[in-house]
């Protein structure tokens, strides 16, 4: 049972984190396009990373559906994000602080850009 709980927790964390990563990569790509003299390679890298994160988010949502998980509330708090979810008939809640989200987002962005080795699962 603990393995299932860890798997569910990882899915929820990815569900919270990946939309933030996608938004940051898209925003940074637009910013680079305006600021750099030759932005094309940098913008393409940001776009490719955002597309990879979007593919992963689709996989996470499919895995959540297959596991019987459904997020029914996603709330922005003063110091982070809280989601309320239902998983196989049970209701739960997960909160992640902004500091933890920022650390995880930077790590994920590096991974999508090929700057960090992929995490071992």
Q: pLDDT digit string (tens) for 49-86?
A: 999 999 999 999 999 999 999 999 999 999 999 999 99
Tell me whether residue 34 is in a domain.
Answer: yes
Kindly state whether residue 121 falls inside one of the protein's structural domains: no
Count of structural domains, the chain: 1
**Predicted pLDDT at 116:** 77
Q: What residue numbers bound the domain in which 43 lies? A: 2-112
Q: Is residue 117 part of a domain?
A: no
Nearest to 118 by CA among 61, 56, 69, 74: 56
Whether 86 maps to a domain, the answer reads yes
In a domain, 118, yes or no: no
Is 28 within a domain? yes
Query: Looking at the domain assignment, is residue 58 inside a domain?
Result: yes
* Percent share of the chain, pLDDT over 90: 88
**pLDDT number for residue 6:** 86
Give the per-residue pLDDT at 1: 35
In 3D space, the residue among 28, 19, 65, 74 whose CA is nearest the CA of residue 47 turns out to be 28
89's CB contacts (< 8 A; 6+ apart) are 68
- Would residue 32 count as lying in a domain? yes
- What's the pLDDT score for residue 18? 98
Assessment of whether the complete model's pTM goes beyond 0.85: yes
Write the secondary structure of 81-98 as one string of H (helix), E (strand) and C (coil).
Answer: EEEEEEECCEEEEEEEEH
């Amino acid at each position: 049972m603990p393995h299932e709980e860890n798997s569910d927790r990882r899915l929820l964390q990815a569900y919270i984190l990946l939309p933030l990563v996608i938004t940051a990569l898209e925003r940074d790509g637009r910013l680079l396009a305006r600021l750099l003299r030759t932005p094309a390679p940098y913008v393409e890298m940001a776009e490719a990373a955002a597309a990879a994160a979007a593919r992963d988010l689709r996989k996470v949502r499919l895995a959540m559906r297959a596991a019987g998980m459904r997020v029914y509330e996603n709330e922005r708090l003063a110091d982070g994000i809280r989601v309320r979810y239902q998983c196989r008939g049970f209701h739960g809640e997960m909160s992640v602080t902004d500091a933890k989200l920022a650390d995880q987002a930077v790590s994920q962005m590096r991974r999508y850009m090929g700057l960090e080795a992929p995490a071992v699962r």
